[in-house]
Amino acid sequence: MNRLDSRFKIECNPTANEKAIVKGKNYRFTVLTSRMIRLEYDESGKFEDRATQIVLNRNFPVPEYRVIEKEDSLEIITEHIHLTYNKKKFSKNGLSIEVKGNWSYYRSIWHFGEPFENLKGTARTLDEADGPVPLENGLLSRNGFSVIDDSKSVLIEDDGWIAPRDRECVDVYFLGYGRKYLDCLKDFFKLSGMTPMLPRYALGNWWSRFYPYTETEYKELIENFKKEGVPFSVAVLDMDWHLKDIDPKYGSGWTGYTWNRKLFPDPKGLMDWLHKEGLHVTLNVHPADGVRAHEEMYVDMAKELGVDYENEVKIHFDITDPKFLEAYFKYLHHPNEDMGVDFWWIDWQQGSNTKVEGLDPLWMLNHYHYIDNGRKGKRALILSRYAGIGSHRYPIGFSGDTFATWESLDFQPYFTANASNAGYGWWSHDIGGHMHGTKSDDMAVRWIQFGVFSPIMRIHSSDNPFNVKEPWQYNEMAEKAIKSFMRLRHQLVPYLYTMNRRFHIEGEPLIQPMYYRHTEEEEAYQVPNQYYFGTSLIACPITKPMDPALNMGSFKAWLPEGLFFDFFTGRVYRGNRKIVLYRDIYTIPVLAKAGSIIPMASEASVSNGTDNPEEMEIRIFVGDNGSFDLYEDNSQHNTLDNLREATTHMEFSWGETSLFTIRGYTGHNGVIPEKRSYILKFTGFVDTKDIEVSSNGRKLPFDKKYNEETHTIELAVKDVATSENLTVSIKTGNVIAENDIAKQIFNMLNKAQIEFDLKSAIFREIKKHNDKSRLMGVLQTMGIDNNLLGALFEIITA
């Protein structure tokens, strides 16, 4: 008899192919791939084939391997690993695995139970973090191997309920992928389950604040954002949506499920209004205190669970009871979802213990909430803390209440990128910092800029009346920068949604440390705050205060081999070197490699919501060939049973005459507009009039601009049929525009807060010397401040 509704039954294939198994009386090895092997030891001789919290699928294609077995020894050899075992209880002396390939001197052999070098993964929470926190182990190592210990994981039964392990055993997975980091992640996802796609709306801006808004105040806030041209796609109602000031006999008001009608007299009306404004809604819940007698649904829920409601006996939170779990959703969550709640922010802060040994209540909440949220066929979503390896199946991660300090900001880019090492790619931080700290407009801007180039852009803060995050609460420069970046986030949604799809299908996270693609470059391991942002961009968030003399912040970067363009300024850089990048308050270093194509919504089309745009801005960075497959679907307003998809292929061919083509979409009709207007921005070209635009061979009219500062040709093409091929031909003679060094240095010096005479002296030398080496030598003799000298050298050597 099933203990749960059928919706909780998960798709899994946990039984391995018998041909992949090598076993004896007390041991069993399962060769999953040529690089991954499961190691089991059980004194009872019983082995586990059910799914676990971490592992859903063991039925892999059987790789080639050979076995050498003797009376007291066993060897398993694949193309990439060599296991040696003495047929006794697993020990460091009796079981070892060598990764072939000499990944490190003497350190590419693992002896059972021994610790190993690890590139680390992520952490459960950043609550009250004011800088770095210790990280758990991830899946990757420069020494070529890592280990997942699944021995204490709770099991998942066929009906979707859980079962504790009934005896001690060893159940571990050895991953010997050398430095094929992405291959390791992709096979891990096959083992543990792919990361689900996020709903498109999750990729826009989120507004969140721990503050007792009234319904009227919340509407006024959203209307003010709209008037200021600041878009949002998610409205977060923190815990003040429910009653907090309750009779002390019931305990704390931290947990609650009854709407505070003084603040929100018409919850359904508010959520209907927010939906019409283009926003989706989430509510914060702290479920630990169960359900007390003051709650509106208490009596009905108590009757169903057999709790003495007449004496107001508390309904305890017991996630290990399937009857409680069903009632928990039926009475506390589904009625609110019927009123308009789109997903839940599960704010569990009470540790990792339950009645079942080894069972973390946070994992239970994440697992069942995520499944339940998708029960009607929509893309599911939750916001909750990380509960260990395997948590990637339950996006999005809430990283907790951090301090609003530079130290906290400086840790977050590394923390976010490094989480990919645990397969965890959708962290959501309290952008701007949650609490404490010091007012800093500079820091606020830099945090927003990082947020735009992070997985989830969720602004959040405490109820301190001075800790406010509306852009107009900052100085004029900061306000301008924040608004610009928040609009940019919504412009980037087409690119982000395609990366979302890529993560789900191909197992490649949006955020990737530099060493994923440059495994043998030592410098790639030395820039922890620098990361790939999707296929085409490298982000370098500025996380330290500006130099007050320069009015610029800086980032110590490493550029791989190749040609790169600054996404904002168009400055061109030659790679294969370290360089310090300086930027004013309005930008951070974001670099696009030559040949990159970035599909975006046009700035004019940006508003609340994240629907497929009718007008697009396509950024093309010249100097090499490139392509991009834009993915779009109709899931924003439909269930997955009615999912319809469209893919639009874009390609750029660099040469004497460069060609850019947007091919007619493939897939379903009705997903994207029948006609689209395009703003095509080609960065890196010299100006030219030799341009043609055509659709299926018919010449089309277009408007053209040329931006001298960013070396960008901008073409506006109206009403192009999305079923046809749009082709742009630009003849520039295979020439890339050069940086105007003198002009860029003049503009930088003009803004610097330094002596006028020093500015003039520096600029005289700039105009005097054509030889860059000689110029740099002269500048070094002038006693110039190191940061100013660094900013000059960046421009000269770019």
pLDDT score at 105: 60
pLDDT score at 104: 65
- Single-letter code of the amino acid located at 651: E
CA–CA separation, 87 and 94 (whole Å): 8
CA–CA separation, 179 and 175 (whole Å): 11
Q: Which CATH architecture does the domain made up of 201-395 adopt?
A: Alpha-Beta Barrel (3.20)
In eight-state DSSP terms, residue 542 is -
Backbone angles phi, psi at 61, to 5 degrees: -60, 140
Q: Identify the three-state secondary structure at position 691.
A: strand
Backbone torsion region of residue 719, taken as left when φ is above 0, otherwise alpha when ψ lies between -120 and 50, otherwise beta: left
CA–CA separation, 537 and 735 (whole Å): 22
690 contacts: CB under 8 Å, gap ≥ 6? 730, 731, 732
Whole-angstrom CA distances from 413 to 255, 575, 597 are 32, 22, 24
Which residues in the chain show pLDDT less than 70?
1, 103-106
299 contacts: CB under 8 Å, gap ≥ 6? 309
Q: Identify the three-state secondary structure at position 596.
A: coil
CA 89-93-96 angle, to 5 degrees, is 90
Buried residues in 364-389 as b, exposed as e (16+ CB within 10 A): bbbbbbbbbbbeeebbbbbbbbbbbb
Structure tokens at 785: 């401040």
Structure tokens at 453: 């180039």
- Containing 773, the helix (H) or strand (E) segment is helix 772-780
Count CB neighbours of 657 within 10 A. Answer: 14
Structure tokens at 553: 């912040």
pLDDT score at 352: 79
pLDDT score at 101: 82
227 contacts: CB under 8 Å, gap ≥ 6? none
CA–CA separation, 607 and 593 (whole Å): 29
pLDDT score at 755: 96
- CA 377 to chain CA centroid, Å, is 24
* pTM (2 d.p.): 0.97
* Domain limits, the chain: 6-108+143-192, 201-395, 612-731, 740-798
- CA 332 to chain CA centroid, Å, is 30
Quick one: which of 458, 462, 479 has its CA closest to 470?
479
CATH 2.60.40.1180 fits 612-731, yes or no: yes
